[in-house]
Structure 1
Amino acid sequence: MDWFQQVDGYCERTDFSYWSEPLNAVTNIAFIIAALILWRRGAGVPLARFLTAVLFMIGVGSYLFHTHATIWALLLDVAPIGAFILIYLFGVNRDIVPMRGWIAFIATLGFFPYAIGVVWVTAQVPFFAISNFYWTVPLLLVIYAVRLRDRPQIVSGFLIGAAILTASITFRSVDEMLCDSISFGTHFVWHVLNGIMLGWMIHVYIRHMLATAPAER
């Protein structure tokens, strides 16, 4: 694999110069801001602090991808996102459902066959195929909201997160469709909404952990 191969997948990029995607690059500040805010709020909740650090890495990785536009930068973009999903899911399984540590770990591994199934189904539908992996997350949040329907605060938190992410994925998916009418595209909105959504999901987790301490921990 050529790690320095250039990648052009967004309306805003017109060449391979460093600042060819200014909006897509600069709006990654949303992840950084969310991480800085949640870092302080996550004091005393180790997993929340870990998620906040990963959120910061998402912003850095995405910035590198939208400036360098190479395969190595793409890896730094997507790897923290995948890590965030798995770590958050583990936290939900262990601390909110709750499950014993090893059972929570095994349940978290269930994300892989679940994601494969969702990706396969959504790949058959043109619009959903564009961002098919990302649709696994709002759907999973809805599934967990149903599973935890006796916890109103968790349910509302998850459904709000799912709604924000659904809007975010939609903006990501229509980016290239709207190139002719919106030259700079809509991908930058994906960054802004994702920064809000991921920050919100960390907040939901912190809120639960602080509300249940020390009774359930």
Structure 2
Amino acid sequence: MTDYVDGYCERVAPGLWGEPLNSLSNLAFLVAAVLVWRLAGGDRTGRLLAGLIGLVFVASSVFHLVATRWAAVADSGAILGFVLVYAVVFTREYWSRQWGWLAAPAFLALTVVTAVLGGGLYLSALIGLGVFAAVLAFQRDPRWTHFAVAGAVFALSLSLRTLDRDVCDYVPAGTHFLWHLLNGVVLYLVSPVLIRPQRT
């Protein structure tokens, strides 16, 4: 678990400052966490989302600083934690309070299927944004646009993440830092939908 991970254009050697752009761009998650916390007021769900976004900031920052396998697992785990909690809460609020818990295993199953089919670990999140947009659009809830815009931003973000290793010869810094910046926007866009003071 302490093995060195060199998975990005920007990193060319071990060391805490081997990925300056990838490390600093994680501040987008911190900004998103602060903004969501302020939107939440006293709403517990909003504060939970803000805390989970803050955890993504910490885990991703540590990973891009130390570049080890255990940090990579922590990074992915923090992202997964936010997604699973969000899926369950959204399903309970907008679909079924009784069966909302099923959203977590359903999402995990979708992730496994898309990964096996070659779509990677994050295609399921893009599909989820489309599903959430469709659910709210069907209910004629104008907040479906949050997910439509977030889905478009995430599609671009995912494309840039995928391109990172392919553009090293042309863009030495790579494109992974843009994945962080755009995902901070995505997390901010989807959070107000579950914050009660923003829903009334």
Name the TM-score class by shorter chain: over 0.9
- Within 5 Å, which residues of 2 pair with 1:33-112? 33-97=31-95, 99-100=96-97, 102-112=98-108
Q: Please report how far the alpha carbon of residue 50 of structure 1 lies from its aligned counterpart in structure 2 after TM superposition.
A: 0.7
Where does the alignment leave 5 or more consecutive residues of structure 1 unmatched?
Answer: 124-128
CA 145–53 in structure 1, closer or farther in 2 if over 3 Å, else same: same
Where does the alignment leave 5 or more consecutive residues of structure 2 unmatched?
Answer: none
TM-score of the aligned structures, taking structure 2 as reference length: 0.94
Contact 2:84 2:104 in 1 (8 A): yes
CA distance in 1, matches of 2:8, 2:158: 14
Contact 2:136 2:143 in 1 (8 A): yes
The superposition leaves residues 37-84 of structure 1 with CA deviations (integer Å, 9 ceiling, x where unpaired) of 111211232122111101011011111111100012112211110000
Q: Please report how far the alpha carbon of residue 95 of structure 1 lies from its aligned counterpart in structure 2 after TM superposition.
A: 1.1
Q: Which residue of 2 aligns with 1:117?
A: 113
CA distance in 2, matches of 1:159, 1:25: 28
Greater Cα shift, 151-160 or 55-64? 151-160
CA distance in 2, matches of 1:46, 1:35: 14
Q: Please report how far the alpha carbon of residue 106 of structure 1 lies from its aligned counterpart in structure 2 after TM superposition.
A: 2.1
Contact 1:138 1:161 in 2 (8 A): no
CA distance in 2, matches of 1:211, 1:21: 37
Instruction: State the Cα RMSD in Å.
Output: 1.5
- Within 5 Å, which residues of 2 pair with 1:1-217? 3-97=1-95, 99-100=96-97, 102-121=98-117, 123=118, 129=119, 132-149=120-137, 150-206=139-195, 209-210=196-197
CA distance in 2, matches of 1:212, 1:172: 32
Describe the SS at the equivalent of 2:171.
Answer: coil
The superposition leaves residues 148-184 of structure 1 with CA deviations (integer Å, 9 ceiling, x where unpaired) of 3233422111111111111111110000100000001
Q: Which residue of 2 aligns with 1:126?
A: none
Which letter does structure 1 place at the counterpart of 2:166? M
TM-score of the aligned structures, taking structure 1 as reference length: 0.87
Contact 2:193 2:199 in 1 (8 A): no
Contact 1:12 1:20 in 2 (8 A): yes
